[in-house]
Amino acid sequence: MSAQQLDDLWQGRAACRGPNTLIFFPPSHFERKDDREARETKAKSICGSCPVRRDCLDYALRIREPHGIWGGLNETERRVLLDA
């Protein structure tokens, strides 16, 4: 097994897997601010109990993921960490 495959094993244990996956990313159509905040709050609550939250966040920061909730943080919150 390659180092990359070992690094990605966390994904199979992520709490976001399954039918709720769509709430972690913005819809393809316009999303009102209050709808976005509600969607992100729900996604972040799932992240709060995730056993691989730190691995997820590390991955998103490493690849500079520009979209969605990863490791409990949205795009703007991750950008702040990268800029610090």
The answer to whether the annotation marks 12 as part of a ligand binding site is no
CA–CA separation, 1 and 4 (whole Å) = 8
Q: Which helix (H) or strand (E) holds 57?
A: helix 53-63
The answer to whether the annotation marks 53 as part of a ligand binding site is no
What pLDDT, in 10s, does the model give residues 18-77?
A: 878 899 999 999 999 999 999 999 999 999 999 999 999 999 999 999 999 999 999 999
Q: What is the CA radius of gyration of the chain?
A: 13
Fill in the amino acid letter for 58. D
The answer to whether the annotation marks 50 as part of a ligand binding site is yes
